[in-house]
C-alpha cells in the first residue's frame, strides 16, 4: 500500500515537458551539442560555443542524463542548479546565461531521469542518483571542490539539493527557491511525515552545515509560503531570506529583488574565507556548550512550574510532578539516602529516619490528603 501511494505521489510530483524542447546530437569531431526541436538550431545560438559543454552522464541507477556546464572566465564559485518539475534544460538555458553573467559563477544544470533527453523515468531516488552523478562530474572533470560549490534547488529540485547538501559538510552555500517541506505536505497540507512520503526535506534541512538562503513568493499557490518559512526556521545557519511580496511559484526571476538578493548572497559566499567559516563553527560550538551548561545548571533547580501540588516546606519552590518526582533544589531535597516519595497523591517524602509514617496510606504526614495526625520529626 505504501509503495502504491508513493508511486501516486511521484506521478503528481513530476511533469516533464512532452515532447522535450531539445535533442542531443554528436558532431563529426565527437563533441555533443544540444539542438532545439523546433528550429533544429543549437540552443546556444552558435554551433561552436566554447562557454557551453553538453555532457551525457551515467548514473548508478543505469540512466544517462544530460547536463549543461556554462563557464565564466571570471568565476570563483560554481552553482549546481536543480530545476523544477515542469521544465527541461532547453527552456532554462536563457536563465542559466543570465545567472552566469549576473552572479559571475560557473553554472551546471542537468535534467533528471525522464526529463529532456535524459533516459529513464523520473522518481525520487533517480533524482538522488542524478545529482550525485553530476557532482562527481564536477569534482573529477572540472576540479570543483565542495568548498567552492553552491547548490541551488527550485521547487522539486529542493529534494535532490538537500539530499546532497546533507552529505557535504564543507559546502559554500545552499539556495532553496520555492522549496517544499515534503511531497505529502504539498499534496495534502498535512503536518506530519509518513513512511511513503517523498522528498522529506523537513528531516534533512538540519543536517546542512553551510549558510542557507530561502527564496519564496508570498502568493505561491502551488507550494505555500509556509514551506519556505518552515525550512528557513529549521536551518542551522539561515541566511537573510527573500520573501517576494506577490510572487507566485514560477515567476520569481522576474522580480528585481530576486537577482539583487541572490548577487548579495553569492558575493558574501565569495568573501567567506576558511578562517571566517572556522570562526563561525567555533561560535556555534561555544553557544552549544553554553546552552548545555545552562541546561545542566537548570536541572539542579526547581522547575518553577506552578501546579496543584503543595510547595516544599524548606523553601518556596513548587513541587511539580510533571517533570520530576521530587524537588530538585538543594534547599528542599532531604539529605537522607533513603528519602523517596511514598504517596502518588501528595508526592511527599517518606523516610523512617526523618519522618513518621501515616498508618492509612503509607505516606509522610505533612499536608497529606488523608486524615492522619502524626507530626514530622
Give me 244's grid cell. Answer: 517576494
DSSP 68-82: EEE--TT-SSEEEEE
**Residue carrying the nine cell digits 538578493:** 261
Q: Does 155 participate in catalysis according to the annotation?
A: yes
Annotated catalytic residue: which of 83, 216, 227, 249? 249
* Residue 130 is among the residues annotated as catalytic for this protein: no
Cell of 226: 509556509
C-alpha span between 15 and 320 (Å, rounded): 55
d(CA 261, CA 291): 33
Angle between helices 158-165 and 124-141 in degrees, nearest 10: 60
The catalytically annotated residue of 220, 261, 355, 364 is 220
Given 118, 155, 355, 364, the catalytic residue? 155
Question: Which residue, 350, 332, 333, is CA-closest to 341?
Answer: 350
Is 189 in the active site? no
CA–CA dist 84, 88 (Å, integer): 9
Burial classification of residue 88, based on how many CB atoms lie within 10 Å of its CB (0-12 exposed, 13-18 middle, 19 or more buried): buried
- Bridge-based pairing of strands 149-154 and 106-110 is unpaired
Question: How many angstroms separate the CA atoms of 76 and 255, rounded?
Answer: 26
Residue given cell 542524463 in the structure block = 65
Among the listed residues 76, 253, 113, 256, the one whose alpha carbon sits nearest the alpha carbon of residue 175: 253
Question: What is the set of active-site residues?
Answer: 155, 220, 249
Amino acid at each position: 500500500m505504501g509503495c502504491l501511494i508513493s508511486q501516486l505521489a511521484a506521478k503528481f510530483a513530476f511533469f516533464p515537458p512532452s515532447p522535450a524542447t531539445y535533442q542531443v546530437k554528436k558532431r563529426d569531431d565527437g563533441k555533443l551539442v544540444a539542438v532545439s526541436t523546433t528550429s533544429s538550431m543549437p540552443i546556444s545560438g552558435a554551433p561552436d560555443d566554447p562557454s557551453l559543454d553538453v555532457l551525457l552522464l551515467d548514473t548508478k541507477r543505469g540512466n544517462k542524463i544530460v547536463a549543461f556546464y556554462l563557464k565564466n572566465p571570471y568565476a570563483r564559485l560554481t552553482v549546481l542548479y536543480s530545476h523544477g518539475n515542469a521544465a527541461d534544460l532547453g527552456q532554462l538555458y536563457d536563465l542559466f546565461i543570465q545567472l552566469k553573467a549576473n552572479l559571475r559563477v560557473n553554472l551546471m544544470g542537468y535534467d533528471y531521469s525522464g526529463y529532456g533527453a535524459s533516459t529513464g523515468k523520473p522518481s525520487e531516488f533517480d533524482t538522488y542518483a542524478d545529482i550525485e552523478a553530476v557532482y562527481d562530474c564536477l569534482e573529477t572533470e572540472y576540479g570543483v571542490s565542495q568548498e567552492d560549490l553552491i547548490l541551488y534547488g527550485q521547487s522539486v529540485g529542493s529534494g535532490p539539493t538537500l539530499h546532497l547538501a546533507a552529505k557535504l559538510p564543507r559546502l559554500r552555500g545552499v539556495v532553496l527557491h520555492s522549496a517544499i517541506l515534503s511531497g505529502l505536505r504539498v499534496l495534502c497540507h498535512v503536518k506530519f511525515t509518513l513512511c511513503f512520503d517523498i522528498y522529506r526535506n523537513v528531516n534533512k534541512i538540519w543536517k546542512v552545515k553551510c549558510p542557507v538562503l530561502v527564496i519564496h513568493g508570498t502568493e505561491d499557490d502551488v507550494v505555500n509560503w509556509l514551506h519556505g518559512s518552515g525550512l528557513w526556521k529549521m536551518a542551522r545557519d539561515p541566511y537573510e531570506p527573500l520573501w517576494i511580496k506577490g510572487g507566485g511559484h514560477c515567476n520569481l526571476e522576474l522580480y528585481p529583488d530576486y537577482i539583487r538578493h541572490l548577487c548579495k548572497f553569492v558575493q558574501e559566499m565569495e568573501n567567506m574565507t576558511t578562517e571566517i567559516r572556522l570562526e563561525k563553527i567555533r561560535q556555534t560550538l561555544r553557544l552549544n556548550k553554553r546552552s548545555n551548561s545552562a541546561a545542566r545548571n537548570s536541572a539542579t533547580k526547581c522547575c518553577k512550574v506552578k501546579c496543584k501540588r503543595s510547595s516544599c516546606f524548606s523553601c518556596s519552590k513548587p513541587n511539580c510532578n510533571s517533570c520530576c518526582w521530587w524537588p530538585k533544589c538543594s534547599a528542599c531535597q532531604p539529605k537522607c539516602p533513603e528519602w523517596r516519595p511514598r504517596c502518588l497523591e501528595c508526592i511527599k517524602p517518606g523516610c523512617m529516619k526523618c519522618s513518621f509514617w501515616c498508618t492509612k496510606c503509607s505516606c509522610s504526614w505533612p499536608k497529606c490528603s488523608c486524615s492522619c495526625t502524626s507530626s514530622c520529626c
